[in-house]
C-alpha cells in the first residue's frame, strides 16, 4: 500500500511539474513557435477604461496563417466576446480580420450588440465637467469591408455598414435635453456604403517594427428613411509610420483626421476625442464635434519576446467647420506595459495610463486602460 501511495504521489508531482512547465512554455517562455501553426485560445476578458469601468467576461481568439509556407503572409485573426462591466455595460462582439494568400485580399467584418451608460457633456472642444448628463445607449453595428491589392502595396476597398442607436436620458433638465443644437435625442439608424484606398508597407499587422500605412475612406449614407434622418458623408484619413531604432526599440507615429458632413447630423455621429487608441487620458465623448484632428508618437521597448514597455505623447482637438485653431490642441501623454501572449504573431495585451489637460476648476483628465493589441 505504501508503494502504491508513493507511486501515486510521484505521479501527481510529475503531472504537476509537467503542467507547470506547459503553462510556463505557453504563457511565459521567451521561445517563439516557428511552425506558424494556428492558435486557439479561450481567454477571460479583463479590461478597464474610465468610460465603462472594469469589464469582464469570456472570449475566444483564433489566429492563423492562410499560407503557412509564405513568411510574408499576415496572420488572420478571429474573435468573439461576451462581457459586462461594473458600470452596467453589456457587450456581444464578433470580429474577423482576414488576409488571404500573398496578402492579395483583405476582409474585415464586425457584428456588435452593446448597451452602455455614459456621460454626455455637450458639443464642442471646451465642454465643462459640471454639465455631465448620464445617458444609456443601446446600439447595433454590422460592417463588412473588402480590400484587394491591384498594385504593389496598394489596396482598393469597398465597405457597407448598418448602425442603429437608441438613448435614454437619466437626468431630467440636463444639457442633453436643453441644448437646442442636439439632433436625434432618442436615436436613429443609418445605412452606408463607401470606398477606401490604402498604401501598406508594414512588416506586420500586429506588432509593426518598420514600414507605413496610409489610408483614406469615404462612406455615404443616403436618404433612405426620410424625415429628419441623417443624410451625408463620413470621411476618415489616417497615416502611421514605424522605424526600427535597434533590435529592441521601435518608434511609431500616427495621425488621423475624421469628419462627418451632411444634413441633420445626429450628436452620436459627431467625432469624439479620446479612447484607448488615440488621445489616451480623455473620457471618450467628453469633447465631440464635426471634425477630429489628432496625432501621436510612441516609443516601444520590447525587453524580450514576452514583455515590453511604451511611452507616448501627442495632441488633438475637435472642431466645427472652419474653427480649427492651433491654440486649442489638447495634450495627451503617458506610458504602459505590454505582454505578448502569442509572441510569434505579435499578439499582445497592453496596459496604459494616459494623462490629458488640466482645465480650470477641474481635476486633470487621466485614463487607465487594459486592452488587446497595440494602439496603432
What pLDDT sits at residue 14? Answer: 47
pLDDT of residue 75: 94
Checking if the pLDDT of 372 tops 80, the result is yes
Average pLDDT over residues 147-156: 96
**Burial (Cβ within 10 Å: 0-12, 13-18, ≥19) of residue 271:** buried
Q: Where are the alpha helices (DSSP H) in the chain?
A: 2-23, 175-178
Averaged pLDDT, 244-257: 98
Mean predicted lDDT score pLDDT of the chain: 90
Closest to 237 in 3D by CA, of 214, 263, 219, 264 = 214
Q: Which residue has the cell 474653427?
A: 323
CB 252 within 8 A of CB 277: no
**pLDDT of 167-203, one tens digit each?**
999 888 999 999 998 999 999 999 999 999 999 999 9
pLDDT of residue 277: 96
Helix (H), strand (E) at residue 295 = strand 291-302
The yes-or-no verdict on residue 13 having pLDDT over 50 is: no
Q: What is the grid cell recorded at 334?
A: 503617458
Average pLDDT over residues 325-330: 96
60 pLDDT band, cuts 50/70/90, is confident
The number of beta carbons lying within 10 Å of the beta carbon of residue 259 is: 18
**What's the pTM?**
0.88
pLDDT band of 15, cuts 50, 70, 90: very low
pLDDT digits (tens, 9 = 90+) for 63-117: 999 999 999 999 999 999 999 988 888 999 999 999 999 999 999 999 999 999 9
CA–CA gap between residue 6 and residue 81 (Å, rounded):
45
- Cα(233)–Cα(260) distance, integer angstroms: 6
**Which of 201-205, 314-318, 349-353, 369-373 has the weakest average pLDDT?**
369-373
Instruction: Tell me the three state secondary structure of residue 127.
Output: coil
Q: How many CB atoms lie within 10 A of CB 275?
A: 19
Q: Which is nearest to 207 in space by CA: 34, 38, 373?
A: 373
Contact 261, 290 (CB under 8 A): yes
Amino acid at each position: 500500500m505504501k508503494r502504491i501511495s508513493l507511486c501515486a504521489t510521484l505521479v501527481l508531482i510529475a503531472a504537476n511539474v509537467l503542467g507547470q512547465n506547459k503553462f510556463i512554455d505557453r504563457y511565459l517562455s521567451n521561445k517563439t513557435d516557428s511552425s506558424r501553426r494556428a492558435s486557439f485560445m479561450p481567454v477571460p476578458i479583463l479590461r478597464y477604461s474610465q468610460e465603462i469601468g472594469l469589464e469582464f467576461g469570456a472570449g475566444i481568439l483564433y489566429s492563423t496563417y492562410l499560407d503557412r509556407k509564405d513568411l510574408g503572409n499576415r496572420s488572420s485573426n478571429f474573435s468573439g466576446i461576451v462581457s459586462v462591466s461594473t458600470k452596467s455595460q453589456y457587450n456581444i462582439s464578433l470580429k474577423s480580420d482576414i488576409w488571404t494568400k500573398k496578402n492579395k485580399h483583405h476582409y474585415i467584418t464586425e457584428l456588435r450588440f452593446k448597451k452602455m451608460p455614459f456621460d454626455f457633456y455637450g458639443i464642442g472642444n471646451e465642454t465643462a465637467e459640471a454639465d455631465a448628463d448620464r445617458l444609456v445607449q443601446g446600439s447595433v453595428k454590422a460592417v463588412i469591408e473588402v480590400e484587394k491589392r491591384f498594385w504593389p502595396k496598394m489596396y482598393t476597398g469597398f465597405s457597407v455598414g448598418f448602425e442603429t442607436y437608441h438613448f435614454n436620458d437619466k437626468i431630467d433638465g440636463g444639457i442633453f435635453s436643453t441644448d437646442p443644437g442636439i439632433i436625434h435625442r432618442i436615436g436613429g439608424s443609418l445605412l452606408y456604403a463607401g470606398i477606401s484606398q490604402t498604401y501598406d508597407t508594414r512588416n506586420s499587422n500586429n506588432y509593426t517594427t518598420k514600414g507605413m500605412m496610409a489610408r483614406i475612406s469615404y462612406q455615404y449614407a443616403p436618404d433612405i428613411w426620410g424625415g429628419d434622418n441623417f443624410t451625408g458623408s463620413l470621411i476618415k484619413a489616417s497615416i502611421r509610420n514605424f522605424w526600427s531604432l535597434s533590435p529592441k526599440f521601435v518608434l511609431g507615429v500616427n495621425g488621423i483626421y475624421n469628419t462627418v458632413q451632411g444634413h441633420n447630423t445626429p450628436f452620436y455621429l459627431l467625432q469624439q476625442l479620446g479612447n484607448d487608441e488615440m488621445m489616451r487620458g480623455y473620457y471618450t465623448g467628453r469633447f465631440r464635434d464635426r471634425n477630429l484632428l489628432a496625432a501621436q508618437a510612441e516609443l516601444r521597448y520590447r525587453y524580450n519576446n514576452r514583455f515590453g514597455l511604451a511611452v507616448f505623447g501627442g495632441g488633438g482637438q475637435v472642431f466645427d467647420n472652419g474653427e480649427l485653431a492651433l491654440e486649442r490642441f489638447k495634450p495627451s501623454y503617458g506610458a504602459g506595459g505590454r505582454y505578448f501572449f502569442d509572441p510569434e504573431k505579435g499578439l499582445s495585451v497592453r496596459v496604459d495610463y494616459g494623462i490629458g489637460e488640466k482645465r480650470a476648476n477641474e481635476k486633470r483628465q487621466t485614463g487607465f486602460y487594459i486592452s488587446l493589441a497595440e494602439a496603432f
